[in-house]
Amino acid sequence: MRIIGVIPARLHSTRFPEKILADIKGKPMIWWVWKAAKKAETLSEVFVATDHPKIYSAVRDFGGNAVMTSAKHKSGTDRIAEAVKGLKADIVVNIQGDEPLIRPDMLDKAVAPFYTSPGLLMSTLVCKVKDRKLAEDTNIVKVIVDINGYAMYFSRSNIPSLARAEDFDYFYKHIGVYVYKKDFLLKYVKFKQSRLEKIEKLEQLRVIENGYKIKVVETRFDTVPVDTKEDLAKVVKLLA
């Protein structure tokens, strides 16, 4: 089984332009993500799928593999799907380019269910939400998980309701790592945007609305996705 990692990387981010190349201790942010992915034991190879020559050159300069893709893609998943069409792979791991604190063992853990469940099509990572502020934060995507470990729903709202919750055992934060069977990924990107996906602005809901399952894998580690310059400052402080 050949497993590859792909990091989607577009240059122009709305809230933080060119964040993918933002400096973190003398290296561009994409380098930190690539470095962690390269250390994952399950990944045969790691690629950066980008829409801009500036990122392509930066990746090639630090020794990474880069693939140019269309600038018209609306999501990182679409960008990855274009990139992997010509690549040899059975399993594709979608690694967000703005997650410089991602750990290689987190990626390995997300892949692990595919070794024991041959029919599995997709998996993702979560960690426990440990305080009320995080549960109420609409910038953090929460997940409800069924008794068999599959996602029931993703939302930016506090799900399940905090009103009657006695503890936080049921609250999970979604971490943006996705693992797909390559064939399913290429099928999934052809689905039309779903109703709930449009409401929540969460493309993984398209999978659930079309009747497919997403295996949820819990990790004890959290990350700090970089959406703003303030997030970047937090990451630099943590790495120091």
Q: Is residue 238 part of a domain?
A: no
Cα-to-chain-centroid distance, residue 142: 14
Reply yes or no on whether the pLDDT at 51 is more than 80. Answer: yes
Q: Is residue 240 part of a domain?
A: no
From residue 222, alpha-carbon distances to 102, 140, 234 in Å are 8, 12, 13
Evaluate whether residue 96 is within a structural domain.
yes
pLDDT of 134 over the 90 cut: no
127 part of a folded domain: yes
Percentage of the chain lying above the pLDDT 90 cut: 80
Residue 237 lies in a domain: no
Structure confidence at residue 16 as a pLDDT band (50, 70, 90):
confident
Structure-block tokens of residue 216: 């949820």
For residue 139, the enclosing domain spans 3-232
Domain containing 113 — which CATH number?
Answer: 3.90.550.10
Cα four-point dihedral sign 45, 104, 217, 139 = negative
Tokens encoding 181: 């069977």
Residue 119 lies in a domain: yes
Average pLDDT of the chain, as a whole number: 93
Q: What per-residue confidence (pLDDT) applies to 12?
A: 84
Q: Report the pLDDT value the prediction gives residue 137, as an integer from 0 to 100.
A: 87
Which pLDDT score, from 0 to 100, does residue 168 have?
67
Is 173 domain-assigned?
yes
Quick one: average pLDDT of 109-127? 96
pTM of the model: 0.94
Q: Is the pLDDT of residue 97 over 90?
A: yes
Where residue 135 falls among pLDDT bands split at 50, 70, 90? confident
Q: How confident is the model at residue 222 (pLDDT cuts 50, 70, 90)?
A: very high
Q: pLDDT class for 4, splitting at 50, 70, 90? A: very high
Residue 165: the pLDDT is 67
Number of independent structural domains in the chain: 1
Separation CA 234–CA 80 (nearest Å)? 28
